[in-house]
Structure formats: structure tokens, C-alpha cells
Chains A and B, each alone.
Chain A
Amino acid sequence: MNHRLLRCLVAFGAIAGVVAPALADDQVFRYPEDTRPTSLLPFFAEDMTSVRMVELIFDPLVFINKRGDVEGALATSWKVDADQMGISFVLREGVTWHDGTPFSADDVVFTLRAARDPKTVFNAKAKFSFIKEAVAQGQYGVKVTFNRPVNEPERRFLFKILPKHAFSGTTISRKDKFARSPIGTGAFKVDKFSLRSVELTANTSYWGNPKIGAVMMQHTPDKAAQVNLLQYSGGKAGVQAVIFLQPKNIPLFENSDTVVLEPYHTVSWWYMAYNHKEKSLADLPVREAISLAINREELLAAHLGRGDTLSGPFTESSPFYNFQVEPREPDLERARQLLEDAGYKMKGGVRTKGRQRLKFKFVMDKELASGQELFLGIQAQLKKIGVQVDAEYVDHARYREQVFTKKSFDLTMNVWSFEEVEDVYPLFHSTGVMNFIGYSNKDVDGILDAAQATKDYKKYKEYMKELHAKLSEDLPYFFLWSLDVYSGLSKKLAGVFIQPYYYFTSFHEWELRP
């Protein structure tokens, strides 16, 4: 009986082993993601997992290269009209879609028309609103005209081109099967879209000649598991990259033989938002006292690793950052004094003025990395000046509804990420579509309107610096940090360049050495 059992086990192990290998293991680049890709149809690729994958599968007309300049992808050259009311592109010849169909100007025209089709509903639609018409000029030429003059219009053609032949019309639905079986012109094509993984293989006819044979994205929501997979990346099932390493895990890889920490630049900054509809928070001294009580350096060092503390709504690498404005130094004494002067007296540990108690609902998005730890730190720091904050941790869908739509919060903390340069008009203008804090300040509106109206980039920069100084003083948000973010990459990788935001733009140049 024992022998039979043993034989059974051996047979079972053999089955398990035989089914396993699919690709030559050392030519597969595996990486985990926190969330599932919702759609690989570029219009609807709204989460970062999808954005990064779309980068591998599709090509834009032009892209921003390592030096920050515009470089041709599907377009080889372009010419802007003298009045800045149009642009002509010359397209790359001999490109084929993943299914073998040749790429032509019709596809570009189709993409623009689909984006402009009122029945195609997607979030980034506004990015296409400057386009009036697109016309094909022969097989490899496209002429695009605008509604209004556009400065450096080629920088607005970073969107991905769709294959006309894969759709029945310009109305594209979120439910299109294309979202799971996309056809692009990019360096990789989708082989298999499974429940929690997507397998891609190199597009051998790609002009950029990809060096890695296959890519496998694996949805691994558990950060601890991601770290494990990288830590043992030598194993056949290990991963070669973790896109975003949490600061607390960085020490694990600092002196690693197998993993290198690669800085990953992002245009993004953290903030704590005050709800200006809340009576006591509409009071500047209260906002200022809270901002003075929070020790950003301490929180940064404890939970986020390296980064810069900010004084305004831009990252330090941004052309708009005003270095003359110093970030506030924490000062508990002054914070207490400010509250005292504003009439808030200590009463049972919480400062109170009449019926107003400085007791706030702090709404947190569960998906915010390190959010819980940061909140606990802030809560402890604010307690010292008699301000009580109570957390409400809610999941992503609920957060959006509660904070952005219903505006039922007093304080919240989050991150804004920008694709390229920060456009803060929607955030702080009293009519801005992303002004969820009910902020309204005539001076700020004035500066933003003037900046929007100007065509002179230098002047625009000046306006932004003025805005920076104004917002630092008036505190619609408390501006927190921009972080140095690190990816963990296997040392087997070579030729790596991580594109800000899009990540995989130059992935065809990456190499995986055995």
C-alpha cells in the first residue's frame, strides 16, 4: 500500500511538472502589478496597469524621448502650419498591425474621428477637443486642423493609434472585445489574456526590434508577495521587476546581489486637502496651525523614504516651482498660539470655540500606498495641538464617490500624478472640474485666468510662480511631498530606461541576459 501511495505521488509530481513550462524561461520578462488591467483599448486604459501595458502594444505618432524631446514613432516627420492652426504628419512606411494588415493614414484618421465621435465616451476625451478635422493625404500622409491656435501641437499627439479594420465604426464601446484582444503596431502583441495574467510575445516585424522574447504581467495585489517574487527572482517563477517598491521594503534590496534599485521619476505630488465648506477649516489660522503641526520630514523618513517636502503645487523638477517660497517648518508653539488667538480653547483634549470643535473626519483611500501609516503619524502629531482627526478608510470606488462626488469629508490625503507638466487650473480655480474642496479665491482665479489666456510661455511660467507663492500662503491644500520612487529590477536586465508615467516606452531596448 505504501508503494502504491509513493507511485501515485511521483506520478502526480510528474504531471505537475510537465504542464508547467510554456516559454523558454530565461527569455520571459515577468512583472507583478497591484491592479488588474481594466482595458487594453487605449481610450479606456485608465488605470496605470493598463496604461503601462498599452505602451507595449501600441504606438503613438510621436513620443517624448529620454531627453524630453519629441521623437517620431509612427510618424517620421511633421510640419506645423505657420498660424499654428494645423499640422501635417508623414507616416512610417512598411509598418504592419499585429494581424498582418498594413498600417496607413486611414488608421490615424480613424483614431481621431473615433475619439471625436460623441458616442465614444471616455475620460480623456477633452484631450482631443482641439482637433477640428483630420484628412488622409495619400497612404502615408495626414493633415490635422485645429479649432484654435496651438503652441507646439506635436506634443499633443502622444495618444495611441487604433487599427481601423478592427472596428465596425467610429463609435467605440468600453465593452468591445478589442479591450482583451488588442491589435497594435507596438513591439509586443497580446498572446493570452487570462483572468489574472496577460502574456505578450515580441512582434518580430517591429522596426525597433525588441530584444526580450516575451512579457508576462501577473496581477499580484499583495505587496508582500510581490517583494517575495523579486527577492527570489532567481527561481523560475520569480519576477524581473517590481514597478513600485514600498519604502519599507527598500532596505531588503539595498545590498542585493540580484536586484538593483532604479529611480523612477514621476510628475506627482502628495497633498492633504482641506474641505473649505467645513466652517472651521475655512478659517486660515486653523489650516495654518494644522500645517504647522505636521512634521513632514519625520513622516517622510519613517514611511516614504526619500523625497522633497514641497511649498506649492509643483514638483521641484517642474519649471513652475518657486524656490523663493520655503516649505513651512513645523512649529508646535506657533500652531498652538494661532489656534489660541483664533479663539479655540482646549477643552477635554480638543480645542473648541463655541460650538465648533476641532474634530475632523479624515477620509482615506485604502489603495493609497502607506496611507494608513501616514495617517497614524498625522493623527498623533495633530493631537499635540488639540486637533482630533478620526480616520475613515474606504475602498477606491467608495472614496471617489464620497470625496470627489459627494464631498463628504473634512480632510483627506492623496497624490496627484500628471502625465507631463502640471496643469493645476482644474484643481484650484473656483470653477475647476477637479476642485473638489470647494476652494474659491478671487486672486487665485485671476492668476489662473491670466495664465490660461497668455500665449507666451515665459509669462505663463511667471504666473505659475506667483500662483505657487499665493497657494503656499492661502493653503487650499497642505502640499506635502514629491517622492523619489524606486523600481526593483533584476540585475539580469540591461539597457533599461524607465519612462516617467508610461514606464515601458523604450522597453524594446531592454535586454534580459541569461
Chain B
Amino acid sequence: MGGKGQTLALRISGGIVAIVLLLGVIAPFIGYDPVADVDYEAQLLGPSWAHVFGTDGQGRDVAIRLVKGTEAFFLPGLLAAAIAVIGGALAGAVAGYLQGIGRSVVLGGLQLLDTLPRLVFIILLCTIMNPSITLIAGVAGLLFVPAIATVIRRKVEALGSEDYILAHVAHGFSPARILLYHILWLQCRPLLIRQATFVFGYVLFVETALSYLGDYGVQEPSPSWGNMVAQTRDLAGQAPWPWLFPALAIVVTIAAFLSFGNLLARRDEEAIR
């Protein structure tokens, strides 16, 4: 398949993902002190050259907070994606390799994680624990392990009997190499990429949702898109800019991550076929 539209969508979403990731990488190098930025003389100013996206209720510049806000989910997103992919690949491979009790234990654990209603559990955890983005990222990553593990396991089991893998085994390649290179990289790459982008977007989604539900996300004064929207949403009628821009950023970014992951995975799948 892979018509023009799909390529276009892939390019657009890929571009957005790249911009967001780039911002995430450079944001830590931008010197910004959220505490010193508080200025009561400059409350809720509209967009101007000095403040491109205006200022918020504390007189802080919305534009720079928007850029710095990428920091809030960049590392946690990476962390969650890493946990999900590494954990999932390992658990899947182990379950595919092992026989007997070991296999049942791993499978049982995975199934258990999979049955916990994801968002419900995260909300529950965040409402009763102290809010922390690392906690959110860790739990989100962990809860995505089974989805990845299941597919990897099926692949490992299916490939285990395929001739060329057997040939590799006969050649004396180490199981680790076969697993990492031949199975994970060559066979499961689209899946892993899709899941990793999905988890990344999910962390942003959860952070925003939790901020909205009651400041359970990233804590002020550190900016995050979620807490920017949450803190200024009841000013909707009076001053739309402090929440409108981060809200747009959230919608566009999450949509881009989701689409990018899906489209990329589909293209890769086709290529493999």
C-alpha cells in the first residue's frame, strides 16, 4: 500500500516528533529560573514581541515555559519507553526460551500486569502517593511491558523452529546475539518502534491528564504543558493565551506521536513482508 497520503501523514507527524524531541534535547541547556521569572508587574499580558505567547498569572513568559516544558516529559518519556521496551523484550524472550515452571511464572506475572487497568491504576497511585513524574513514567513503562513481551514471545517461539535460526544456532552464534540482532532488531523493529513512540506519547498524555484532575503531575514551579493548562484553565474567558498554547501543543504532540508510531510501524511491516 503506502499511498501518497500515508507518506504525507508520516512526514508531517515525523516532523512534529522531531521538533519536540529536538526541543527536549536542547531545553536543559536553556538557562531559565522559574522562580526569578515571577513578575507581578507583568501579569496576564497578551502576546507581544517581548512575550510571543503572552504571560501567565505570575507574569511568567508562556513561550519559554512552553519550550522548557518539553523537559517535563522528555526524560520521563525516554525512561518509560526504555522500561517498556527492555523489560518487554527481556520478559518476552525469557518466556519464549524457557520451558516449564519458569515460563509459567513469567507468563503469570506478565498477565497480572496486563490485567491491571492501566490509567485507572496510575490515577489511583498518583492520587494517594506524592506526585512525581518519575513515578508516573516508571509505572507507565512497567504497565506496557506485557504488550511488548507477548508479541516478542510469539516471535521467539515461532522463529525458534525456523530453519535459518536453527542454522545460526548450529553456527554457534550465542543465544544473546541471535535474540538481540536476529530476532529483536531484524524481526521486531517495527513493533518496538511503534510501542516506544506510543509509550512516549502516553507519558505526556498521563501527565496532562493528572495535572488536569488535580495537580498530580509535574509540580510547580517547574513548567509542564499539563500544569500550564491546569493552572490557567479557569481564566478561559479572560485570558486564553496561557492555556491555549500549551493545550494546542499537547493535542498536536500526542496526535503526532501516536500517528507517527502507527504509520512507521505499518511501513516497516510492509517492508519486511
Contact = CB atoms under 8 A, between A and B. Distances in A.
A252 B237 contact: yes
**Chain A interface extent, by class:** 20 to 34
Nearest to B234: A224
Query: In terms of DSSP, what is the predominant structure of the interface of chain A?
Result: helix
B208 to A, nearest CB: 15
B38 A391 contact: no
Contact of B57 (A231, A248, A366, A379): A248
Interface in A237-293: 246, 248-249, 251-252
- A223, A298, A380, A383 pick with most chain B CB within 10 angstroms: A380
B160 interface: no
Given A372-B220, A373-B58, A380-B36, A393 B235 contact: no
Nearest to A301: B40
B238 A373 contact: no
Contact of A392 (B36, B130, B235, B238): B130
B58 A377 contact: yes
Given A373-B57, A376-B58, A366 B238 contact: no
A434 interface: no
A223 B233 CA distance: 10
Contact of A372 (B38, B43, B231): B231
B130 A249 contact: no
Interface in A208-227: 221, 223-224, 227
Nearest to B237: A252
Nearest to B233: A224
B219 A393 contact: yes
A342 interface: no
B220 A376 contact: yes
Interface in B203-244: 214-215, 219-221, 231, 233-238
A393 B57 contact: no
Nearest to B60: A376
A79 B142 CA distance: 71
A376 B237 contact: no
Interface string A360-401: 000000100000110111011001000000011111001000
A124 interface: no
A375 to B, nearest CB: 8
A248 B235 contact: yes
A392 B131 CA distance: 9
A302 interface: yes
B52 interface: no
Contact of A366 (B38, B43, B58, B215): B215
A364 to B, nearest CB: 10
A396 B89 CA distance: 41
A391 B130 contact: no
B221 to A, nearest CB: 6
Interface string A189-231: 0000000000000000000000000000000010110010001
A65 to B, nearest CB: 36
A231 B214 CA distance: 23
B35 interface: yes
A251 B43 CA distance: 15
Given A302-B43, A373-B57, A393-B215, A380 B38 contact: yes
A383 B234 contact: no
A395 B215 CA distance: 10
B172 to A, nearest CB: 57
Given A302-B43, A393-B219, A376 B38 contact: yes
